[in-house]
Homo-oligomer: A and B are copies of this chain.
């Protein structure tokens, strides 16, 4: 693959090369400036993909030929020869483990290497980390709102930025706490559980019970095959009597589709209830088929709703399922899982819990994969040191100021085990110690000093890439997913809150603060 880059990076690379500065040592940091979606945390994701692309980073002959055609004609030939030799063999990358909770302004990826390469990597790293972390964070929010017991399914393939955007969405939603995806390719490539049963179009393709073919089903325990359409029709009469709905209002095309599906997948029958009227058609038809299946020894696996007031309907459906279960003495009927979809958002989940819904599984598409509450994490990648000198960008916008120098990042934990501060120190400073008082400058109140005593101190970054190779074993996708849940669970409730959370403290050591002050002074 050709390196992902914006053109200006190549023109700058030429600038460095021509000035003989291309091999000057440099360091850059990747971070975001504000917690996404109004929360205080994000989930760092994309690292495995970053490492894969770092290893593959190379300009092919075709890439170089193309660049020759778009860079200014004054560009020297020798530069293109140099580009063709470029790789990441002198690049070092340290990062927060994938799936960790991360905070605004704290670097979660650090890159060192020759200036030209470090700059060339900018776009590629941002492209691979930005959306991955954003959608993983979005997924954690859905998980936090749904609680631990509701199943969450990602179904955004149709709404993502094309096939590969959809694959990223499936992968990183899984990391963020989703249980499964509808996307077969994501299942095949990443081993994510895939789910999905029946759609409106299947139901609409039937107009009557007569179309059902084949019509017979063997009882689970064996015996004579049974005519399922006839059995379902007879159950429909009994169900409609119980529910006091007119049997002629139950759509027979829908009933045919249900019966056909049940004959095909007797152990996996799920009813989609809202193609026609739920109360008078979808629900009676489902109960009729499920009771017919029960009579043959099978259990239906669920119902699904895709329109209307989902919370309200789930309660009505649960009531009907209970009534049927009690009346026809089928105890498992009352716990049939109810799945919902249809433009589910954070707000939907809040409504579901406010209304005390009976929903057991939720499919989320657009509002998961496109992250409409905040469509970009806005990660940035900034040079912090060139040729041994720390860099400072002073702008009129305080928030856009970079913090100079290569750093070690520590996460400080309180006595309850919650992280309460991320601390940036210069690389050559000694590590803070658990139980010892630290004097720090908290970002946003740099004039004053604060004193803190961490109960525990963790070095946040690990070295992942060195000498052109991945140098740390990478966890599997499901290990990353578990790590994410642990990382989230450590957060204090005040920081885990999705709206108006307590700000998370990010601080500098006194030495780093002093360096910043000196550089500021010098650049005035």
A184 to B124, alpha carbons, bound, how many Å? 12
Identify which of A2-10, A235-243, A443-451, A477-485 touches chain B: A2-10
A201 at the interface (CB under 8 A from B): yes
A116 to B304, alpha carbons, bound, how many Å? 22
A260 at the interface (CB under 8 A from B): yes
A198 to B307, alpha carbons, bound, how many Å? 51
Identify which of A87-95, A187-195, A285-293, A353-361 touches chain B: A187-195
A231 at the interface (CB under 8 A from B): no
- Contact residue among B15, B164, B382 (Cβ-Cβ distance under 8 Å from A202): B15
A123 to B157, alpha carbons, bound, how many Å? 7
Residues of B within 8 A of A166 (CB): 4, 127
Residues of B within 8 A of A20 (CB): 213
A244-285, CB < 8 A from B: 251, 260-261, 263-268, 274-277
Contact B4 A66 (CB under 8 A): no
- The closest CB in chain B to the CB of A262 belongs to B15
A66 to B213, alpha carbons, bound, how many Å? 27
Contact B386 A128 (CB under 8 A): no
A376 to B213, alpha carbons, bound, how many Å? 38
Interface string of A207-228 (1 = CB under 8 A from B): 1000111100000000000000
Known: A18-B214, A74-B266, A264-B14. A160 touches B127 (CB 8 A): yes
Contact A7 B187 (CB under 8 A): yes
Contact A127 B157 (CB under 8 A): yes
Known: A7-B182, A119-B201. A131 touches B161 (CB 8 A): yes
A137 at the interface (CB under 8 A from B): no
- Contact residue among B16, B164, B308 (Cβ-Cβ distance under 8 Å from A396): B308
Contact B19 A260 (CB under 8 A): yes
A254, chain B: closest CB distance, angstroms = 10
Contact B157 A6 (CB under 8 A): yes
- Contact residue among B168, B187, B308 (Cβ-Cβ distance under 8 Å from A66): B187
Count copies of this chain in the complex.
2
A452, chain B: closest CB distance, angstroms = 32
Contact A2 B194 (CB under 8 A): no
Contact B264 A6 (CB under 8 A): no
- The closest CB in chain B to the CB of A62 belongs to B188
Interface string of A115-136 (1 = CB under 8 A from B): 1000100110011101110010
Residues of B within 8 A of A14 (CB): 264-265
Contact B70 A205 (CB under 8 A): no
Identify which of A101-109, A365-373, A410-418 touches chain B: A365-373
Contact A274 B119 (CB under 8 A): no
A110 at the interface (CB under 8 A from B): no
Contact A366 B371 (CB under 8 A): no
A200 at the interface (CB under 8 A from B): yes
Residues of B within 8 A of A523 (CB): 251, 276
A58, chain B: closest CB distance, angstroms = 14
**Closest A-B pairs by Cβ, 7 of them:** A161-B165, A8-B196, A370-B375, A164-B164, A7-B196, A165-B165, A126-B158
Measured CB to CB, the residues of A under 8 A from B are 1-2, 4-12, 14-16, 18-21, 26, 28, 62-63, 66-67, 70, 72, 74-75, 115, 119, 122-123, 126-128, 130-132, 135, 155, 157-166, 168-169, 182-185, 187-188, 194-202, 204-205, 207, 211-214, 251, 260-261, 263-268, 274-277, 307-308, 366, 369-372, 375-376, 378-379, 382-383, 386, 389, 391-397, 400, 523
Q: List 20 A-B contacts (CB under 8 A).
A: A4-B184, A7-B187, A11-B197, A15-B265, A19-B213, A21-B205, A21-B213, A28-B201, A70-B194, A72-B265, A74-B267, A74-B268, A119-B205, A127-B163, A128-B162, A160-B165, A161-B165, A161-B169, A162-B165, A370-B370
